[in-house]
């Protein structure tokens, strides 16, 4: 497991390599560059996203495995309280419903790149939370 100070500061316990497709990788890297320095976007969160993307396993469109969470994926999670919820990870500004979570949210950032059946732990304020990817339903193209 990779251990870097930024991961501890952001308090994300799972820092293993995530999976991502090249199209999402390039769009997110451009987004980071655009949003860096903006007051409304946490520089620590952008830094963590940058590191997660840098160390991610990247896939070309014709090599995409179906079992990992990508941008615009719709999937079912079980949270720390054993509550199931359908969610979708979206780009900032594309939140359309209560089921949509921005990639800049802690939940969105934690889920991106996880495989179906995989769990991750993250800290939300003072609470340690866990999320498990139960089922991936679809991957919409943005």
Tokens of 139: 């991957």
> What CATH fold (topology level) applies to the domain 5-139?
Chitinase A; domain 3 (3.10.50)
Q: Which tens digit of pLDDT belongs to each residue from 46-64?
A: 998 999 999 889 999 778 7
Q: Which tens digit of pLDDT belongs to each residue from 61-86?
A: 778 777 889 999 999 999 988 999 99
């Amino acid at each position: 497991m990779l251990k870097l100070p930024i991961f501890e500061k952001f308090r994300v316990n799972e820092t293993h390599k995530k999976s991502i497709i090249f199209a999402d990788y390039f769009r997110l890297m451009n987004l980071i560059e655009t949003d860096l320095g903006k007051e409304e976007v946490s520089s620590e969160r952008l830094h963590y996203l940058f590191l997660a993307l840098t160390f991610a396993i990247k896939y070309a469109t014709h090599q995409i495995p179906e079992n990992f969470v990508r941008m615009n994926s719709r999937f079912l999670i079980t949270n720390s309280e054993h509550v199931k919820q359908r969610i979708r990870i979206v780009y900032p500004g594309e939140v359309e419903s209560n089921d949509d979570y921005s990639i800049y949210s802690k939940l969105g950032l934690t889920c991106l790149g996880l495989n179906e059946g995989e769990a991750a732990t993250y800290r939300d304020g003072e609470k340690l939370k866990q999320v498990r990817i139960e089922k991936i339903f679809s991957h919409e193209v943005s």
